[in-house]
Every structure is written in C-alpha cells, then in structure tokens.
Structure 1
Amino acid sequence: FGPTAGGLLFYLQDGVPTGLVNIPPGASNIKNEDFAFFVQDKWQILPNFTFNYGLRWEAQIFPDTVVDPSKTAYGIFLSNPAFPSDGTLHNQKKEFQPRLGFAWDVRNNHKSVLRASWGIYNGRQNMLTQVGSITTNGAQQRTIFTNSGIIASGGPAPVWPNALPVTPGNSSCSGPPVNSFPCFTGVRVFSKDYANPRIYTTNVALEHEIFRDVAV
C-alpha cells in the first residue's frame, strides 16, 4: 500500500487528538435493573374445556449516560429534529404481555385434546450494546476513519509508524471547524423512539392417544 497506506481503510479505536491511543478510555460502571410481575388463572368452562389467561409486566431500567450528551461529538446535533437520538437510553416500563390458552378434550374421552395458546413477549436489550452507545460518544471513545478518497481530496494521511494526523472536526473536513472533535468521528446512539423487541406467538396442537400412554 505504500508508506501512506492510501488503499487501506483505517479504523482507530479510542482516537484522541494525537490520532492514536495514548490515553486509557474512561472507565464506566453501569448496571441494569429488571422488574417483573405476573398474574394468571384458569377457568373450567366445561368439564372438557379449560381456559387459561394471564398478564405479565416487565421493566428494564437502563443506565444513565457517563458523559453529558451536550458535551459529546454529537452534542451540536441534539437540537436538530432530524437527529435520531437525544443521547440517552430510554427505560422500558410499558412491557405488558397478555397470555391466553385453552385445552379442549374434543370427544370428552381423554384421548383427543386440542391445545392452543397466544401471547406477547418482550425481548431484553443486552448490556454490551448499551455500553457501546454510552461510551462511544466521541468524548470517551470514538472511531476515526479515513480512506483513499479522503486522502486524495486533501485529507490527512497516516505515515507509518507515525500517528494519523487529526484535524479539528467540521461538517465536511474542508470548512471551518464546528467543534473540537476530529473529522469523521464515529459515535453510537440509541434512537429516541427505541423500544425493546416485541414478539407475538401463537401455537396450536392436536394430541391423540393411539395406545395407552402413547400420544401423537
């Protein structure tokens, strides 16, 4: 690739003003709090028909940000309605999950049973994804990017083994700086409309006894 590595794609984690990692990333101590509550009951509508119903509620409380969002690399965009995030992780407190089911002894002879169930379930957001969003904010950690096209247009080029030159951040890397962060600082954020995955399930099964203690 030559001394300037013009064809090489650079991803420098934890970039700092000198271009390479020379300070330890800020430490983070984060935690999640999970709460759950459920009620359930069954109704014997007929001797051969049982109806089950219940409701489960869950909440996942996310950690607070480590750095004030206004002081991050994306802080200048927080007032822009087009920017997808407000820099925080919104707690998930509206996870109501109803469950329904029934068992029907079709011929009332304990040999053929039709079972069905329906329910709503919520997935849980993993902490590794949360950490990435909380710490990769440009101030605590960031990704610096360059490639041949940027270098050809006059952008900074790395010369091995020296550091990647880093200029103050601006909207196009060719105009006046708009903040103190390097050009093309990579960050990660959660959408302000984020919600944990919601899953709808339906199951139907017919069981029939063909021999004693053997059913299909």
Structure 2
Amino acid sequence: MPPTASWSYGDVRTRDLSDGSVRTRVSGLRRPAGLAVRGDGVLVVAEAGAGRVVAIDADDVVTVLAEGLASPVDVAFDGEQGYVSDEERGAVLRLDDGSPVAEGLSAPQGLAVRDGEVLVETGRRRLLAIDPGTGGTRVEADDLAVGLPPGVTRTDPALFSHGMSGVPRQFAGLAVGPDGTPHVSANAQGGVLRIDRSSHDRDPG
C-alpha cells in the first residue's frame, strides 16, 4: 500500500493496490513533503511547515522523531538509520541524534540511500553521493533538469503560492531502483530522469 502526502490539506494517505481503496492515515500536518517507509513498516514524513519529522504507525499514532529543523524536505533509511535533508540549513542530518552527515550543501531536497551511501539532489542541479562515515562527497551527476535554471530567480516564497500556505513549489524527489539506479523527478522539465551508474548518462525514465 504505497503512501502519498497532500501538501494542500496536510494529509498522509495510503492506497491499497488490491482494491484501490484509500485510507487517510493522518490529517493536519503542516506541509508534509518527502516520506519513506521504515524497515518495520512505519511511515516517516518530513513535515516541512513544522520543522520536524514524524512517524505514523500501523494504528495511525503520530510520534515526533526530530524537531527544530529549518526546512526538512525528504527522509530516507539505511536499515534502522534514518536521514533527513534540511533545505534551508543546507545539510543532511541523522534522525536519531541530529548530527550532520554533510553540511554546506545548496538547497538539498530529494534523498535516498544506495550501497551505504546517501544520495541527495541539491540546488546546484546535481546529484551528490555522501559517505555517512566520513562526510566525503562526490558528484554522481550534474546539470540536472531540477529546480530553477541558472540565472532565473524565484518570485514566490519557496513554500507558498499566491499567498496560500500548503501549495508547494516544485519538489525534486529522488529514489533508487532495485538495480541501484537513481531516479530523479526532473521538476524543471516535468519528467523523471534515470541516472546510469557507469556513464552518468541521463535518460528519460
């Protein structure tokens, strides 16, 4: 039953693929953004508008995992270790203790884990691979069709549109396929990019 998040109404819902039924797991969150399913089946959501990360268990009980964040956008897990991207702070943080995995990033958004590395999409239109142990980074792919093109400035606040809270700007998500291939939602062109691991080619997904 894959989860979804609704920015406009602060809902998190799951859909049962066997019969198409939709279940609202929680309402009233402040601009929920990225979400992930933890190893124990618990949903974990980055609540951007509240500066926190919450967990939603099988009984729809909400537990705060991290708070006091500037602008959490996405979450990802490697076993029991969770990570969150904080766009405003420019950092990827561990969920359990808030310690930084990497800092000085430009508007990190989409987050995923592959082979023990944390992958993050940044405002510099590139995909970085981060070693959580050392904090070392390398560029996995660059010049991606995400965010705003170089030289273009935003006229609306990042998480508002026409004065209405809950209507987000475009969000560059990130996922890793079963074969380890990263997929990026290319929000600057309205498509999905598949990043080839060997050649770093970018093919439409």
- The structure in which a higher percent of residues are strand is 2
Of structures 1 and 2, the larger Rg is shown by: 1
| TM-score of the pair, normalised by structure 2 | 0.24
- Per the normalisation by structure 1, the TM-score is 0.23
Q: Using CA pairs below 8 Å that are at least 6 residues apart, which structure has the higher relative contact order?
A: 1
Higher helix share: 1
